[in-house]
């Protein structure tokens, strides 16, 4: 459900005339709607705040890397490469740093298949392009940074004792950090909300639902598997693009989707 919700609001944002502004508005509106919820669920304890702050740092680093990658290669290539790296990095962090939720051999194979399928999806439409090693290295680095953000979520949830207080607080901090990120990248913040407020308000509920469901998944099983299942959102987004946006899907993309969904099936059996 988290993957489907994540794919849905991202595909909807992509269909907007200014997709970057739509995403930014959604992130900020998610913070706004989380404020009343925070008074209902309560604030995280002091032990969780270092993980919240560290998570925002990793999130901003990931966003900065994404901006740099998008200047070097097409979005449809960069995004799957970065997202496909995340489950592999999360699994490595899990094995090296966390003494719980270790994946089984079958689970590791499933994670590898999902990641390979998602990464292959990025190459499927751009096989003839020469992009060099630097953007690929940046995409991998961005995936590692995003995986570190997942690890801070795991540690923060453990310190909080519940995903909900942690999740709504993280959404608020992300919303506060977004203007700082935009200013650092020279984006005109005054134009962000133009024509995007209603969309951002509606999409923020879907975005928050996806995030909270993901946090619950992180607290109830192997985190590498949970991360891999969420990255199937890229595949759902492809399906939405094919049906709604009428994009063409070639044989290699179908193979990439089949590989990733087979990996997801293995994760269900693991």
Q: Is the confidence at residue 179, as pLDDT, over 60?
A: yes
Q: What is the pLDDT of residues 42-72, one digit of tens each?
A: 889 999 999 999 998 898 888 778 777 767 7
pLDDT confidence of residue 44: 92
Q: Is the confidence at residue 93, as pLDDT, over 90?
A: no
- Cα distances (angstroms) measured from residue 37 to each of 33, 43, 119, 173, 257: 7, 10, 36, 14, 37
Question: 8: closest CA among 213, 256, 223, 252?
Answer: 213
Highest mean pLDDT among 53-57, 175-179, 210-214: 53-57
Q: Is the confidence at residue 23, as pLDDT, over 90?
A: no
d(CA 153, CA 157): 6
Q: Which residue has the higher pLDDT, 164 or 225?
A: 164
> Residues 177-203: what's their mean pLDDT?
71
Which residue matches tokens 């499927």? 124
Of 157-161, 171-175, 229-233, the range with the lowest mean pLDDT is: 229-233
Q: What is the pLDDT of residues 237-269, one digit of tens each?
A: 666 556 555 556 567 777 877 788 788 777 766
Highest mean pLDDT among 66-75, 123-132, 167-176, 225-234: 167-176
pLDDT confidence of residue 217: 81
Domain range summary for the chain, segments of one domain joined by +:
2-269
d(CA 237, CA 3): 9
Q: How confident is the model at residue 178 (pLDDT cuts 50, 70, 90)?
A: confident
Give the predicted TM-score (pTM) of the model: 0.80
With pLDDT > 90 as the criterion, what percentage of the chain qualifies?
A: 13
pLDDT confidence of residue 64: 78
Q: Which residue has the higher pLDDT, 105 or 45?
A: 45
Mean pLDDT value across the chain: 78
Of 32-41, 85-94, 138-147, 217-226, the range with the lowest mean pLDDT is: 217-226
**How does DSSP assign the chain, residue by residue?**
-HHHHHHHHHHHHHTSTTHHHHHHHHHHHHHHHHHHHHHHH-PPPGGGHHHHHHHHHHHHHHHHHHHHHHTTS-HHHHHHHHHHHHHHHHHHHHHHH-SS-PPPHHHHHHHHHHHHHHHHHHHHT-TT----HHHHHHHHHHHHHHHHHHHHHHHHHHHHSSHHHHHHHHHHHHHHHHHHHHHHTT--GGGTTTTTHHHHHHHHHHHHHHHHHHHHHHTTS-HHHHHHHHHTHHHHHHHHHHHTS-----HHHHHHHHHHHHHHHHHHH-
């Amino acid at each position: 459900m988290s993957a489907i919700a994540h794919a849905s609001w991202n595909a909807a944002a992509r269909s907007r005339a200014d997709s970057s502004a739509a995403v930014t508005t959604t992130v900020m509106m998610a913070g706004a709607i989380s404020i009343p919820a925070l008074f209902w669920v309560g604030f995280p304890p002091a032990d969780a705040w270092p993980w919240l702050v560290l998570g925002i740092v990793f999130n901003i680093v990931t966003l900065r890397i994404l901006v740099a990658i998008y200047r070097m290669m097409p979005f449809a290539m960069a995004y799957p490469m970065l997202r496909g790296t995340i489950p592999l990095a999360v699994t490595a962090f899990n094995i090296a740093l966390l003494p719980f939720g270790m994946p089984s051999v079958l689970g590791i194979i499933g994670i590898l298949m999902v990641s390979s399928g998602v990464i292959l999806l990025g190459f499927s439409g751009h096989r003839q392009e020469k992009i060099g090693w630097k953007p690929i290295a940046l995409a991998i680095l961005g995936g590692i940074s995003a995986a570190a953000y997942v690890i801070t979520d795991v540690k923060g949830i453990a310190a909080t004792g519940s995903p909900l207080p942690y999740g709504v607080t993280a959404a608020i901090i992300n919303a506060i950090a977004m203007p700082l990120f935009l200013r650092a990248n020279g984006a005109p913040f005054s134009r962000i909300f133009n024509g995007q407020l209603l969309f951002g308000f509606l999409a923020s509920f879907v975005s928050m639902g996806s995030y909270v469901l993901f946090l619950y998944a992180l607290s109830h099983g192997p985190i590498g598997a949970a991360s891999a299942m969420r990255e199937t959102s890229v595949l759902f987004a492809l399906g939405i693009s094919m049906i709604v946006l009428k994009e063409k899907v070639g044989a290699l993309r179908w193979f990439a989707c089949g590989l990733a969904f087979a990996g997801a099936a293995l994760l269900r059996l693991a």
